[in-house]
Each structure stands twice: as C-alpha cells, then as structure tokens.
Structure 1
Amino acid sequence: MTTTRPVLYLFGSAAPPVFDVAKVVADAQGRGFDVCLGLTPTAARWLEPQKAELERVTGHPVRSAYKLPGEPDVWPKADVIAVAPATFNTVNAWALGITRDFVVGVVAEGIGKGVPMVAMPCVNAAYARHRQFERSITELREMGVRVLYGDGGVDGDDGFVPNQPGQGKPEQYPWHLLLDTVEDITLAR
C-alpha cells in the first residue's frame, strides 16, 4: 500500500469536537494528506452512524481496535500522527504508557519509533486542575510530542484553552491549529 501524499493518522477521543471529524478529514485532504482515521472505543461508538461514509471519504477502514496477530496492516505507514480531541483519559493513558486502547497503543509506540506527533487536548477546567493532567502534558512534551495546550502553542497561539464544566463550545475547537501544525511538521521533514 503506497501513496505519494503524506500519510496523516488522525486519532480522535470521545469529546464533542470529534463530531466534526468529517470536516477535519476534508480539510486535511485539501491540504494534500492521505488521512487514516482512528478512534477511541467511545468515540467510535459516537461516530458509528458516520463510519461507512468516513471510510468511503478516507479510502481506509476506520479503526478503533487492535488487529489480530498475523493480520496485515490495512493502513500505509504514518508520516505524522495527530491526536485530537485528546481527552483527559487519552492524554493520561498515553503519557503513562497504558495501552489498553488501539489509539493510545499506536501513539505510545510511535514515540519509540520516532513518528512526529501533535496532540491537542479537549478537557474542561475541572479536569485540567487535576495534578496528573499537567504532569502528562509535560511528559508528552518531554517525549517530543507537540502539545497544543496552554502556553505551549504554536507561533504565539496558546492552542486549546479549557472551558468551565458544562460550558464547552465544540464549534470553537481550534482544529485549524492542529492541521497547521501537521503541515509544519511535514514540511520540516
């Protein structure tokens, strides 16, 4: 399975902005990427009604589970991986190396393989105050992941900023920052 376009693994967790993933796929494709979509189990359940269309648009299976040993890979090799929206659970599991889910397993292994990665959390302010969350953000950054959150944003932009619980604005999730960073990473290679 070869492609002349750079391959983007776009991985989403179960936060409300994931419902806009079809638009994000289209935007990434418009920027020249071959997109493979992976979802956490809950995000996959949320997007089940869209799965066939997402597979048609990407030209690849939407994955949310590990393949069986001996099964061939169904995706081309990633040039870059983007994880967004990255929930509290996904960020912490990734930083701690808890690879129970396919998405977290791929990105945890991707660190060791040297695959360039960017993540943009989507958590409310209550989760953000949990001590482990900030530790996890720091840990991912120290492992080379570009995390678009707080003061670690790109080009002076702070990335995702948490809302108070129950006051989320999924339509304002800054997907463009994620894709701009994916492009920057790809051009730098």
Structure 2
Amino acid sequence: MGHGGNVVDELTTDHREVEELFGKIEALPPGHKDRKMYADQVTMELVRHSVAEEMYLYPAVREHVANGAALADKELEDHAEAEQIMKDLEHREADDAGFDRLMGMLMSEIRAHVADEEQNLFPRLAEACPPEALDKLGDQVRKAKKTAPTRPHPAAPDTPPLNKLMGPGAGLVDRMRDALSGRGKSG
C-alpha cells in the first residue's frame, strides 16, 4: 500500500500484490488455516484499492476518457460483485464448505477485472491525461488507501461525494476492529 508513481503504476502494483496473495492461497491445501489469513489480507487490500479507485480513478475516467461514464459504471459493477463475494467470505473459515467456492469466484472476478483495467482502462486514461494529472491521481489514491475501509461494505456509497465522506469513518472503525481481532495476521 502506497508505492509511489502515477496512478497507473500505483494501481498496477496493487494488482501484483493481490495476485501474489492469491498464489499463496492456491499453494496451500484446502482447509489449511493460513488460507483464511491470506483471504483476509486479500480482502483488506482489495477494499482499500477499490475505495481509492471509486474516489479518484473512476471520476477521472468519466471526465477525461471518451465513453468514460460507461467504462466507470462497468468497473463499479465489477466492484459490487467482488465486494459481495468478499462479504460472504468474511465469516467463513478455511475449512467451511463454501470457502473454496467463494475464493475461486473472487479470484476469477478479480483477475478478469484486473485484465480489463490493465488492457483497456489504464491505457485509455494514460492517453487522455497529462502526466502531471496522472501523478496527482497517484498521490490522491495513496492518501485514500491510508484511510479507506478494510472490510467490505456492500451497501456503502461508491460514487462521490458520499463515498468521500463516509469512507474514512468506516475505515477507522475497520482498522480498530482489525487491530483488536488480529485479522489478517498469522497467529
């Protein structure tokens, strides 16, 4: 979280980190307790990443990219689907019957979303925006990830201005819950 560079570099690095966590989950046998820890880490990263995209990336896409509103709306639909899967996964342990099914659904959804962003949305945004604007967006995304929620909130607003008002408060509560519970840590 918080790697530096323009918005495309920042978000692409996030994608690689999530894929690395997916690999750790896939390398463990079904039912292994560490699969839950990695799933929690994936969820924490994906929620922060998604909130930052919803706050800054998608509004920029709407503003600068031809047909940007339709692109942003599709990305928000992807986020909503992934967030619901993460919410369903949140209360399941690695040995629960539905854990592997939900994890597989999440991996599939996220991998398709990442491929679409990296092959379609990011190049179009990079072409439409001057480098300074991409750098500023990168800074905004990094700041947003620091205060963003770490747990899925499917009913929360996903477009400005309400997401910018509610996200930091939910993020504070989530981080306190994570610290108290040890969520996402090996134990």
Give the TM-score taking structure 1 as reference length.
Answer: 0.33
Give the TM-score taking structure 2 as reference length.
Answer: 0.33
Report which of the two has the higher share of strand. 1
Report which of the two has the higher share of helix. 2
* Larger RCO (CA within 8 A; separation ≥ 6): 2
Bigger radius of gyration among the two = 2
